Chains A and B, each alone.
Chain A
């Protein structure tokens, strides 16, 4: 735990070495490196279409995708679809997280609850979630409720598993510290268990959010009049590949942005971590 005496020192040496170099340039150039490949591919395709080697009808060039996005944005369509999709993801995610966290914590902490609950949850998890769609439509109608429920299901499982697994694997030695100081059950959860599982919990939130984005598409395929998933279906039915790619690009941007939000919102909570990743990022 606290035995890594030399790590901060090495870090400092590397920081010193970096300070000698033009650090600002490096800080901006490094993320750029990751952009190199997609930008090159996009530009290459643009050039190929421009030169007439392909008509770009089925695979629209970036300029056309961009024009479609601008057009949708100008008409106000785009924000309507984004708001629809985003609100479905947010409410489904919130529901899934609350349910997954509570049930996961209960079956992680309480052995009897785990014996009672976990086999059923695991069995339900084995069902491909899309298989619920017809049932949800019958039960909850074709409007928002069934969509939000499907997304919540997708988010629930990774969060449930993450919380339960993390609580079960909290180091007994740390729990013993709590016992020595005679912490009550709730105090043990609040002062030791929840904090110990925090890193794993945040990972499971991010996995859950990723699945939430996956399921919103499925949900919007099952009959929506607005949303990015509707744009996809609409583009397919009316033969507008540029609109499909535009929706995909916006999905990617929103997915990345919401994931990044979780990451920066939780970073201050994890400063104490002595993880390999931290030092690798810092270097």
Chain B
């Protein structure tokens, strides 16, 4: 289980990006974090990844405190961030350097086939399309078999068709080993199609506004009425999260809020 306990982040320049964010995320759960810009969702994700540790509160994965990158936590960024001097296969195997070469080769080959890029093993990253490159990034993050996979707006740079394709593909891959997925997004459709729970955040400073459970069986039909219902629910919550006059959705006013306006 991933336990976030009153996670807060104040940057050295004084910007208060995240305040007292608490949540518990079960192993294998898919959680989408959504919110307007500047609501601290990327800050939160980077704190969980151990890239920019929280300045207060704690992130714990099965009772291990996370303050630096951890082998059980993988991350996929908005850009593929492939290493341009490595072939596609070597990029995927980048995190496996401690394994013997034959084991590594086998796992890379399996991952390549799994993301449908077996024929691109020897290609350079520059020869891939945006969607293909992001698939390689997904394979690279999944191949060390993390327990938690963080995704920071992973499909936002892609066109609508590729995005849908990769969303479905991600669910497919998730079903293999069922890691916990935490997905930062600003796409309501994406949040509802993927997540078990949608955490809506509100800005300045970023904090949790409302938690919405998506009780829909998978695979989800994007055209169904229920799907629309959940989308509307998330959209309404998002709108209200940006309204300064609204109390937290839980009915209490947020502590410390008065400090910010």
Contact = CB atoms under 8 A, between A and B. Distances in A.
Contact of A1 (B49, B51, B75, B125): B125
Contacts of A196: 85
Interface residues of A, number: 24
B128 interface: yes
Nearest to A271: B124
Given A174-B83, A179-B69, A198-B85, A1 B126 contact: yes
A28 interface: no
Interface string A254-277: 000000000000000001111000
B38 interface: no
A182 B69 CA distance: 6
Nearest to A198: B85
Interface in A141-184: 173-174, 176-177, 179-182
Q: Is the interface of A mostly helix, strand, loop or mixed?
A: helix
Interface string A73-94: 0000000000000000000000
Contact of A174 (B49, B81, B126): B81
Contact of B51 (A2, A179, A192): A179
Interface in B46-64: 49, 51
B237 to A, nearest CB: 31
A266 to B, nearest CB: 13
Contacts of B251: none
A7 B97 CA distance: 32
Contact of B126 (A182, A192, A195, A274): A274
A2 B74 contact: no
A2 B130 contact: yes
Contacts of B49: 180
A43 to B, nearest CB: 45
Contacts of B82: 1-2
Contacts of A1: 79-82, 84, 125-126, 133
Contacts of B85: 195-196, 198, 272
B81 A5 contact: no
A4 interface: yes
A282 interface: no
A191 B75 CA distance: 19
Interface of A: 1-5, 7-8, 173-174, 176-177, 179-182, 191-192, 195-196, 198, 271-274
Given A1-B81, A180-B95, 16 more contacts: A1-B80, A1-B84, A1-B125, A1-B126, A1-B133, A2-B128, A2-B133, A5-B130, A173-B81, A174-B81, A180-B49, A195-B83, A272-B84, A272-B125, A272-B126, A273-B126
Q: Which 7 A-B pairs have the closest CB atoms?
A: A274-B126, A2-B133, A5-B129, A2-B125, A181-B95, A272-B85, A195-B85
20 contacts: A1-B125, A1-B133, A2-B129, A2-B130, A2-B132, A4-B126, A5-B128, A5-B130, A173-B77, A173-B81, A176-B51, A180-B49, A180-B95, A181-B69, A181-B95, A182-B69, A196-B85, A198-B85, A271-B124, A272-B124
